[in-house]
Amino acid sequence: MCGIAGIFNGDCPAGPVEQELVGRMLHAQRHRGPDGEGLHCHGPVVLGHTRLSIIDLTTSAAQPMSNEDGSVWVTFNGEIYNYLDLRRALIDRGHSFGSNSDTEVLPHGYEEWGIDGLLSRLRGMFSFALYDARNQMRGIHTPRLFLARDRMGIKPLYYTFDPHAHRLIFASEVKALAASKAVPGDLNVQAIAAFLCLGSVPYPQTYRSQIRCLPPASVLSISRSDCRLRTYWTLDMAAERRQPVSDLLSGAVESHLLADVPVGIFLSGGVDSSAVAALAAQQISSPLRTLTVSFAEAAYDEAAEARRFAARIGASHHEIPVTAEEFRSEVSRFLETMDQPTADGVNTYIVSRAARQLGLKVVLSGLGGDEVFFGYRHYHQLVRRAGPLGFYAHAPSLLRVMAGTAAAAFSEVAGREQWGRFEYSRGRSLNESLYLLVRGFFPPAQVSALLDLPPKEVNAALNSALEPFQFAGDNGTPDPARFQELEMRRYLHDQLLRDSDLFSMCHSLELRVPLIDHRVVEAARLIPLNERVSEKCNKPRLVEAIPDGLLAEIAVRRKRGFVLPFEHWLKQSAQELQDFALEGTLLNRKAVRQCWHRFRAGRMHWSRAWSTVVLRSLMS
């Protein structure tokens, strides 16, 4: 796990100015790779790298890294879990390796298979920049740079492109690009409005107007004559997996344990993390290292459940108590770390800090299990046509309109912000409405008030954010599988994965997510919808794949999720945080005060009030 940065300078050879620019970006994301730093300059390209050494801890694995003759170079962030298989195949084809790192399969694999052949073979989490200088070295002036991300978008990559100068600049974080001093600082108000509508900034936008997020499963290629972006994989293109889900899960966890440094497991006491821990314990001979955080607030504390499961699998278990005082002391650093506005992430920040204090560099997480195996309550309601969401989804359209209008009106009268999300159902397709009812953040009227924007502009921002998801093909029938796809592309990618990467890497910790190994995702997509949910237990097909009595017992309990006593902590510091939020100039002060008033009165979720603090911190 590392930080990458670089520049493609169009028609001009890169020189000291470009090297200094890349150096500033590396310095801004030094936390992503405190173990080493490197630069490579050739022709129009500068590649930079900050290293967190995980596999092959020697200097042989330093980056940027090249093939044998230095004609193909790469700077890489992530892990290639099948690199040993790829390495053997490449050696059989005559390639010579100078390290034992997973990075080196990239330049050799590109030489052997081309960019498409390489990407189709990679199994892992990655973002990388690969520079092909072979033609330039032969006197043909067509060097090409590729930027690529893994299929699920686990590892981030951001870029800015100036078509007039034909110059591309990229980095692992938005703040690193800003630190280059080569990117205008204009705020993207449309993206900020979308954040307030959805709880996170939707890709490919960022909160900076000139900076874009490279989409998951995409490759961008640039030469002196063109710049092209394309997708190389989608869920719809997923190959049929004939292997049992149990075998794929076991193989995914086994590959994610590969490292030359200690590996731990985040164990919350829930189904997903327990499943990962159970499979990991089967793969290693020494006791597995697990950790959980505990709280004095009993309603949020799952330490006993985690302790019980750790004892069952014979793990070396660690509990780290976290208090409200520690939260208050860490708020300023958390906000300084933030790269894009998010309504979440504090839980990952806290548990990642605990893991680093234990001396861990790598941890496995159960993140993604709910999205892949239908763990959320709204999946049950949609599939079984039960509960409020199920009723709404299958009601006649006229009844839906009447219910939505009444709910939105009730929200205005009673001040209950969750009912206000029914505003989103007006004039939208059914599946779009269902998604926004579940994942909508502020109701549109409150977004208008907070940003002093006309409702039409808020609606335009939301439409722009949702445009890549092609709701136009909606036939008016509730589609849980389509809802799952949106969960993965929006909520999982834009919020959970983005937060997990950022707030683990700020502690120089690599977080791995085996439950969203793309082969597991592909296989889980083939499970019939009615088999993905059960009245008896949560995520039945995941539980069936890992026979364990205690795991089955956990799955029967009411789902809690890994949450902190954040509401309680926030109320203890409410006045101080509200005053901080009011210092900003982006949000309407009256609307900010109203948010905090509703939060104190129990009429608004804590994340809404917290988001005003988040936006204030990014404006400083």
Catalytically active residues, by annotation = 2
Task: In whole angstroms, give the CA distance from residue 145 to residue 142.
Answer: 10
Alpha-carbon distances of 236 from 44, 119, 152, 447, 521, rounded to whole Å: 37, 17, 13, 34, 11
Of 158, 132, 118, 122, nearest to 32 (Cα)? 158
Task: In whole angstroms, give the CA distance from residue 433 to residue 456.
Answer: 18
Task: In whole angstroms, give the CA distance from residue 559 to residue 556.
Answer: 8
Alpha-carbon distances of 27 from 33, 158, 413, 497, rounded to whole Å: 10, 16, 51, 23
Are residues 425 and 440 in contact, defined by beta-carbon separation less than 8 angstroms?
Answer: no
Which ranges of 130-217 does DSSP label H, i.e. alpha helix?
134-137, 174-179, 189-198
Beta strand residue intervals within 52-190, DSSP E: 65-66, 72-80, 124-132, 144-149, 158-162, 167-171
Residue 549 DSSP SS3: helix
Instruction: Please state, as a whole number, how many other Cβ atoms lie within 10 Å of the Cβ of residue 316.
Output: 12
Are residues 207 and 174 in contact, defined by beta-carbon separation less than 8 angstroms?
Answer: yes
Are residues 582 and 594 in contact, defined by beta-carbon separation less than 8 angstroms?
Answer: no
Are residues 425 and 433 in contact, defined by beta-carbon separation less than 8 angstroms?
Answer: yes
